[in-house]
Amino acid sequence: MATEIERKFTVTNDSWRDNVRKTRHYRQGYFGGGGKASFRIRVDGERASLNIKSATLGVQRSEYEYEVPLIEANELLDQLCERPIIEKTRHFVDFGGNTWEIDVFEGDNDGLIVAEIELNSTDQVFALPPWAGAEVSHDARYYNVNLVKHPYKLWPTSSL
């Protein structure tokens, strides 16, 4: 079984920007349903993929990803995915021997910045960068699938 082990953190300042080694822009959408899994289509430049992820809360989840034709992915995003479409720029930053992915959201989620680190095990030790804030791995609001239903622009200011 394919497994993703990922921890998520808020971002407290922009000092990470000095160490970006690669940047990608993503457009991704989710198909209705819910239940045991989320179904996502993502376009990343000239590559597109279908992703199926277990709907469990936490740092470890089942995840499957399959490449799909770009033209079909764009049709799915435009015609079948729930709104709003998630648009974000992902910045890859190396820190403490690991690669961090920092997502800067756009559109209805503008203003939200989340840092993620993928790990090999749930108990893997890693260095926390100075720009990483509170851990939000167990906060469902920060999951992309939930940002479609409850975009960041609608979050009460007191809960940020």
Catalytic residues: 30
Instruction: Give start and end residues of each alpha helix (H) in 33-152.
Output: 70-79, 144-149
d(CA 9, CA 139): 10
Please provide residue 86's backbone torsions phi and psi, each rounded to the nearest 5 degrees. Answer: -80, 125
CB 91 within 8 A of CB 100: no
SS3 44: strand
Q: Count of CB atoms within 10 A of residue 142's CB? A: 19
User: Which pair of structure tokens corresponds to residue 137?
Assistant: 């791995």
Chain centroid, CA 102 distance in Å: 9
d(CA 37, CA 142): 16
